[in-house]
Amino acid sequence: MSTLFSTAASFAATLMLGRSMVDQVFNNSYLQALWAWFRSDLTFVVPEYTEVGERNQIYDSVEPYLRAKIGTNTKRVRVSKTTRQKTTSFTLDDYQEVTDTFENFSIKWRYDHHSEEKRYYELNFHKKHRAKMSSYLDYVVAKAKEIKNAEKVLRIYSRCTSGSYKYWESTILEHPCTFETLAMDPTEKKMIMDDLDRFVRRKEFYKKVGKAWKRGYLLYGPPGTGKSSLIAAMANYLNYNIYDLELTSISNNSDLRHSLLSTTNRSILIIEDIDCSLDIQNREKEEESDEQVLVLTKDKNELKQQTVTLSGLLNFIDGLWSSCGDERIIVFTTNYKDKLDPALLRPGRMDVHIHMSYCTVNGFKILASRYLDIHDHPLFAEIEGLMQTTEVTPAQVAGQLQVSYDADVALAALVKFIKEKKEEDEKKEKEKKKEAQAKKLRRKRLLALFQKIKEIT
């Protein structure tokens, strides 16, 4: 046994010495260069993001392209299917390979996923085909575009954090709202659709006038008036992906720039509740605090330092950085338009202002058709009369129409709801007037007291 252990130890020591010598030899830069010269293959690396942080178009094209190329040689495949997908989706798992052919030569793809920070594809081929790779990659991008258009599966992206690294994570967008089902005035819907159509067709126009190919929308109005539904209808109409950007999750202007650069073309960027996201109503504050604006947290008890500035936001909306990307729509939402800085509202930043009002008669008829499958009813006249004197949101109307499949029951519930809300609104209005009168009386008495003091003194 001792002889056996001694022999094994000697053999292990010899292997370690041999490995050390090999490492020293092949770690020599000159030998590495010589070895690379003799090798017959080349490898291209396709990272998820470019050096400047912009999303890599080729990377986004490889995944849909390789779905159809996965064969029996691939040992691990990710399988998924959503309710809106017609077919099952197959994608490469980590470190798996797929072989492709182009103009009678072979190409091998490999997916590497070391971390959320480093996701990339490796493209390996014989070096004699190096000159043809540009044409091949153009072919991959074009085929991927055809596949995406045929699938018509939209995605919604949200900003995620992994340690110090931030990235976009997506999920299938399955919002069913379209312009046909949207509870909005038909004239206004047609205006929006015509504006979107005009925007998509005017690529050469934007190039001719020297402007970035983008369009800004401001949706303003009280909560529950359908702002999110309109955004979903726009995405479904254009077949654009959505990027949902929460400014409160952005740490500074540099982080904002990276976030916007990593979005793709033909997409809708949403910045919701712009009046609440940042303290951007007064640009003079930026100069006073060296572009660091102090804002109160929700509980008003402590200060939070926010380094995303209005000037930084404007630069990415309408400055030099806005030209980094084509065919993009930016949608801002707010409940209070009058709280926004005028610099945000001008054309080129928010080109189209859409007031999302309380439910109209036309909006009610659309909702009744959708929820109850009716176009007329004896209660319609009463409901329409109540809606002309009472402010109710489309969300509130839809909520009452869902209480029953029976149109009589649902519409009766809606009538009751609107009447109760009308009484409540009138009560609040009386209390408001009463408070205003009391305030006026207190002010009058205070002025009288000051006058007496002045006469005495």
Position 305 pLDDT exceeds 50: no
Position 17 pLDDT exceeds 70: no
Report residue 60: phi and psi, to 5°: -65, -20
Cα 106 from chain centroid (whole Å): 38
pLDDT of residue 313: 81
Lookup: tokens for 41 = 């293959």
- Please give the Cα distance from 217 to 163 (Å, whole number): 34
The SS3 call for residue 370 is helix
Confidence of residue 281 (pLDDT cuts 50, 70, 90): very low
Kindly report the average pLDDT of the chain as a whole number. 81
- Please give the Cα distance from 286 to 172 (Å, whole number): 39
pLDDT of residue 381: 93
pLDDT of residue 36: 54
Map tokens 């126009």 to a residue: 205
Q: What is the pTM of this model?
A: 0.70
- Please give the Cα distance from 353 to 191 (Å, whole number): 12
What is the DSSP secondary structure assignment for residue 391, as one 8-state letter? -
Burial-class residue 21 by CB neighbours within 10 Å (0-12, 13-18, 19+). exposed
Lookup: tokens for 4 = 């056996």
- Please give the Cα distance from 203 to 299 (Å, whole number): 47
Position 131 pLDDT exceeds 70: yes
- Please give the Cα distance from 205 to 211 (Å, whole number): 9
pLDDT of residue 217: 95
Confidence of residue 263 (pLDDT cuts 50, 70, 90): confident
The pLDDT tens digits for 356-380 are 989 989 889 999 998 999 999 999 9
- Please give the Cα distance from 266 to 57 (Å, whole number): 12
Q: Which of 358, 329, 319 is nearest to 211 (CA)?
A: 319
Cα 15 from chain centroid (whole Å): 55
Is the separation of the CB atoms in 147 and 64 below 8 Å? yes
Q: What mean pLDDT comes out for the span 103-112?
A: 89
- Please give the Cα distance from 116 to 118 (Å, whole number): 6
Lookup: tokens for 52 = 């400047």
pLDDT of residue 296: 36
The pLDDT tens digits for 44-96 are 999 888 877 778 889 888 888 888 788 777 788 888 776 666 677 777 888 78
Position 199 pLDDT exceeds 50: yes
Q: How many CB atoms lie within 10 A of CB 283?
A: 15
Lookup: tokens for 11 = 């053999």
Residues making up the chain, counted from first to last? 457
pLDDT of residue 303: 41
pLDDT of residue 321: 61
Position 21 pLDDT exceeds 80: no
Q: Which of 370, 354, 355, 359 is nearest to 396 (CA)?
A: 359
Position 234 pLDDT exceeds 90: yes
The pLDDT tens digits for 402-441 are 999 999 999 999 999 999 999 998 898 899 888 988 888 8
Confidence of residue 207 (pLDDT cuts 50, 70, 90): confident
Q: In this predicted structure, which of 43-52, 291-300, 309-318 has the lowest mean pLDDT?
A: 291-300
DSSP result, 145-210: HHHHHHH---EEEEEEEETTEEEEEEEE------TTT--S-HHHHHHHHHHHHHHHH-HHHHHHHT
Confidence of residue 241 (pLDDT cuts 50, 70, 90): very high
Q: Could you give the C-alpha distances from 217 to 163, 333, 404, 417, in angstroms and in order?
A: 34, 8, 36, 33
Confidence of residue 290 (pLDDT cuts 50, 70, 90): very low
- Please give the Cα distance from 363 to 189 (Å, whole number): 11
Confidence of residue 288 (pLDDT cuts 50, 70, 90): very low
Position 289 pLDDT exceeds 50: no
Confidence of residue 22 (pLDDT cuts 50, 70, 90): low
Is the separation of the CB atoms in 116 and 34 below 8 Å? no
pLDDT of residue 2: 66
